[in-house]
A = this chain, B = another copy of it.
Amino acid sequence: MSAISYELLQQDETSNARLGRVTTPHGSFDTPAFMPVGTQGTIKGLLPQSVADTGAQIVLGNTYHLLLRPGSELIAKMGGLQDWTGWRGPMLTDSGGFQVFSLGNLNKIDDDGVKFKSHLDGAEFHLTPERSMLVQEQLGADIIMAFDDCPPAAVEKLNPRNVADSPVRSDSARTQTAEPAVMTPAEYAKRVEIANERTLRWLDRCVKAHRASGRWDEQGLFGIVQGGTDLDQRTFCAEQVTQHDLPGFAIGGVAVGEGSDEIRSVVEHTAPLLPSDKPRYLMGVGYERDIVAAVRAGVDMFDCVLPTRNGRNASAFTSTGLIRLKNAKFAEDPRPIEEGCDCVTCTGFSRSYIRHLFQANEMLGGILVSLHNLRHFQRLLLDIRGAIRDNAWSSLAERWPVAFPAGA
């Protein structure tokens, strides 16, 4: 028996979108779902109860960061990541692979795994498929991810507008510390092919290791489809990954520097290749328009750091786009961030007050905007689920213009 089960509640009439529910050892969550990201064992600045109050039913933890500090053995000894951090609901951990490549100081990459030095203190680590499984078993999340090789976008293939416009990967230290690779089309094709083959060999080892751990029934392992922007490679990888009888599948290697149109093309191609009786997870996406497009392609789960990262920078999401609360024009604006929003921020605090908090370097500013932004995405997902249930896409588009840009 798997740790994770998926119940399909309703199939949309006009798209591949579907309403569902995923059940885990720590409870259920409604899909399509948006997962806030708790990189270092905390969603920055927020009590777990405050996160739950935004409507989040599942959160994500980052294996790489927790492996480095404080270490997964310590967390296991303290009862696992959920008990330790006070998040009582479902949780998912990534494999650590993405950040090893983007944040770590790499020493050696081969088919066995990756040797790297911590970006914090230079300490040496060795991460392999088996070790990623062990670490995630020690962290103890309900859903764990296969250790994969995620190639960067090939930057020369993109036009400048798309690059500037491209979504930020949820755990995108990469967007801060490393540039997308500059490769010829032939070099990119080769890189994607190698990553795909490695991802598949590593998946075999992840499955074997996790089965041997005795925790198969407690933690559900999701496989990840790579393939970059090459749709044939996506097809090949999806066929191979879905040979494994896993409780869920993810689309990885997306939002790593490519544009919104390419994200959409990959997702619309790949999502239908994944089993319809299992949850489908699009890793690290993203903006509202990308989420809506992916839901209509059949995706069930999302994660992104944007709500909290933007929140700490005073950028607030609204149904018509981002507003920057440090702007002087908000100094005497008595309105909430968004009229009609039911979050703790919008029901209690003005733009004027929030701007003051940022001007005065008060951490409550970042906290209030993070809470609003998290609720913004939960409200969007709530309305998306409503649109599927009631076939009400046109009223969704009216309420969320930001998610339906002209021409999309």
Contacts and interface: CB of A to CB of B under 8 A. Distances in A.
Interface of A: 40-42, 44-49, 65, 69-70, 74, 77-79, 84-86, 331-332, 334, 344, 348-350, 352-353, 356-357, 359-360, 362-364, 366-368
A47 B364 contact: yes
Given A331-B70, A332-B78, A367-B47, A40 B353 contact: no
A363 B79 CA distance: 23
Copy count, this protein chain = 2
The residue among A46, A78, A332, A356 with the most chain B CB atoms within 10 A of its own CB is: A356
Contacts of A362: 40-42, 44
Contacts of A42: 357, 362, 364
B78 A44 contact: no
9 interchain residue pairs of minimum CB distance: A40-B360, A86-B348, A42-B364, A45-B363, A70-B356, A42-B362, A84-B353, A78-B352, A363-B363
A44 B366 CA distance: 12
Given A45-B45, A364-B42, A353 B78 contact: yes
A332 B42 CA distance: 18
Name the prevailing secondary structure of the A interface residues: loop
15 contacts: A40-B357, A40-B362, A41-B357, A41-B360, A44-B362, A48-B348, A69-B360, A77-B332, A78-B352, A78-B353, A79-B334, A84-B350, A86-B348, A86-B349, A363-B366
A344 B50 CA distance: 12
A364 B370 CA distance: 13
A370 B225 CA distance: 44
A334 to B, nearest CB: 6
Contacts of A40: 356-357, 360, 362
A367 to B, nearest CB: 7
Nearest to A362: B42
Q: A86, A357, A360, A364 — which one has the most chain B CB atoms within 10 A of its CB?
A: A364
A317 B200 CA distance: 53
A289 to B, nearest CB: 31
B45 A352 contact: no
Contacts of A74: 331-332, 352
A363 B332 contact: no
Given A84-B350, A364-B46, A356 B41 contact: yes
A123 to B, nearest CB: 14
Contacts of A332: 74, 77-78
Given A78-B334, A84-B350, 6 more contacts: A41-B362, A70-B359, A77-B332, A78-B332, A79-B334, A363-B366
B363 A84 contact: no
Nearest to A371: B47
Contacts of A41: 353, 356-357, 360, 362
